[in-house]
Structure 1
Amino acid sequence: MNAIKAEVIICPSIDYAKILNKEIAKNANSLVVIEDSQPAKRHPIFQLLTQINAPILLLSNKTWKHPLNIVGAIDPLHENARPETIDDSIVEMMRHWGRDLKAKPTIAHCCYISPVLSQYKKKIMAEHQEALKAFSRKLQLNKDQQVLLDGQPEDILPSYVKNNQVDVLFIGLVARNKLSQFWIGSTTSALLTTPPCDLLLIKH
């Protein structure tokens, strides 16, 4: 086995994000890996995730399977006020993992329909399915690489992850308010509270 060359940097202050970003700027392909733990025991860096200028892998003690099973949560209709480029970045990162780690990639789009709109459910689901297909065509994804899930993302994604033995879930990391850089989108916040698997957070 080849040895991994590592450099240990002692952080003399609590300005973790600033020091991390200084190191990240040295390599455009930086990936920040953070060992996850129970929410009550997490490092203060978890309060600064939106300030880190690189993808963040939250790593648990679970063993990955071979081949690696990865899923990217996307929002092709941009209903949750997230930048369009995040979905493209999620797919690009998944492709890198697919090539380098022999991973099996799938994109998932969640569609929740309020009971008050139940009479329009078939039409709404069809619109979301078409948006997912259009996104897949744009990025040249196969039909078996996409899935439309019926339900709230924070509810249906953990169920899908469990039922399909997903190793890593790729999700967008969005600060909802420019005046509040600590406020993360509701879906990501829910998944961070109780991660269904290892998470790869993508900001840009």
Structure 2
Amino acid sequence: MTTLHIVLSDLEVTHATLSKITLLQNKLSANVIWYLHHHQRLFDRRYFTHELAGISGELQANHESKIAQIELKIKKHFPKSSVYQCKDKYWSKQVNSNATKLDPIVIVRSKTGLTSADNQHISQNKSTVFIINQEKWYSDGKAVGAIDPFHEDDEDNKSDMKVVEFMRKWCTPAEQSEPYLLHVIHIPPLAIEYEKQIEALHKEQIYRFAKTIKCSKSVISFTRGTPEDALLSYADNNKVDFIVLGCREHSLFDKWLNGSTISALLSHQSCDLVLINTP
């Protein structure tokens, strides 16, 4: 059975977060394990420990009280789930020791964004990672899969096929009657005079890919613009809760859609993502 490994860095958990995890658990028929990542960077240096010795006890007591409150809240909503505390600077080692290769990791963004530990795991990710914020979803997990079968280093389009496979499992029959795959047509400024030819080329390639995977044209939508802006605008205009992206074997911060689309999307607090790695 699949297990969802939930990593929470903020010392709070919102009702929206709990609702999202419940939906993920039901959609994926999964068990749930929580990790409360609370590395205390304030006391990393020895001289800090010495100089702040007088107040460190009180700080530690407040910290442990918050942790206990979070554990209680999680256990109330997920009584069968396990809750671990992770005090290391990076949480990947502890999570990976409990997870199988196919288990999805769920990173809950802190209020200040992704932490260095989050980014460290994402850059080395080998499976599926959900990245969610602590705000409510519009439509209970409505998703769109971004496809872009134009990569020389993925001639078999394994990355896009993984996205399609995920979307077919995620979408309900009713949702599968609407467009759930999206391709961004980016026209470089210097090629604007050839925009009709470029758009035709994109659509021809996408429909060829759709034919190979036995996918109806009706479930594919197109949008124009720079990839990250176009994806965000489409998600906002269509009340999409998260964007599903395929990632090839190289680092997630390397080329994708002619540039750093994934890293650009990761910087947006409001954008929930699913990153699917292709071995």
Provide TM-score, normalisation by structure 1: 0.80
Change over 3 Å in CA distance of 1:38–1:9 after alignment to 2: closer
Backbone CA RMSD of aligned residues: 2.9
Answer yes or no: is 1:173 the counterpart of 2:247: yes
Answer yes or no: is 1:22 the counterpart of 2:97: yes
Which residue is equivalent to 2:213? 139
Which residue is equivalent to 1:55? 128
Equivalent residue of 1:56, what SS? strand
Contact in 1 for aligned 2:252/2:263 (Cα 8 Å) = no
Following superposition of structure 1 onto structure 2, how do residues 147-162 of structure 1 map, counting pairs within 5 Å? Answer: 147-162=221-236
Change over 3 Å in CA distance of 1:71–1:119 after alignment to 2: same
Equivalent residue of 2:264, what SS? helix
For residue 202 of structure 1, report the CA deviation from its aligned partner. Answer: 1.0
Answer yes or no: is 1:112 the counterpart of 2:186: yes
Equivalent residue of 1:76, what SS? coil
60-69 or 84-93, larger mean C-alpha shift: 60-69
Contact in 2 for aligned 1:158/1:196 (Cα 8 Å) = no
Which residue is equivalent to 1:32? 105
Q: Distance in 2 between matches of 1:137 and 1:20?
A: 39
Q: Distance in 1 between matches of 2:83 and 2:146?
A: 33
Contact in 2 for aligned 1:110/1:150 (Cα 8 Å) = yes
Which residue is equivalent to 1:87? 160
Letter in 2 for 1:55: T
Structure scoring higher RCO (CA < 8 A, sep ≥ 6) equals: 1
Q: Distance in 1 between matches of 2:81 and 2:220?
A: 37
Which residue is equivalent to 2:142? 69
Deviation string 1:69-121 (CA, Å, 9 cap, x unpaired) is: 21111111126x5572111111111111125x975561111121222222221
Which residue is equivalent to 2:169? 96
Unaligned runs of 5+ in 1: none
54-63 or 121-130, larger mean C-alpha shift: 54-63
Q: Which protein shows a greater Rg?
A: 2
Unaligned runs of 5+ in 2: 1-21, 23-76
Q: Distance in 1 between matches of 2:97 and 2:174?
A: 31
Equivalent residue of 2:136, what SS? coil
Q: Distance in 1 between matches of 2:265 and 2:94?
A: 26
Q: Distance in 2 between matches of 1:138 and 1:106?
A: 17
Q: Distance in 2 between matches of 1:126 and 1:41?
A: 38
Provide TM-score, normalisation by structure 2: 0.61
Deviation string 1:148-191 (CA, Å, 9 cap, x unpaired) is: 22211012111111111101110123565xxxx57444000110
Q: How many residues of Structure 1 are paired with residues of Structure 2 in the alignment?
A: 196
Equivalent residue of 2:171, what SS? helix
Q: Distance in 2 between matches of 1:191 and 1:78?
A: 20
For residue 194 of structure 1, report the CA deviation from its aligned partner. Answer: 0.9
Letter in 2 for 1:33: V
Letter in 2 for 1:142: S
For residue 195 of structure 1, report the CA deviation from its aligned partner. Answer: 4.6
Change over 3 Å in CA distance of 1:36–1:82 after alignment to 2: farther
Identity of aligned residues (%): 31
Contact in 2 for aligned 1:24/1:53 (Cα 8 Å) = no
For residue 143 of structure 1, report the CA deviation from its aligned partner. Answer: 2.2
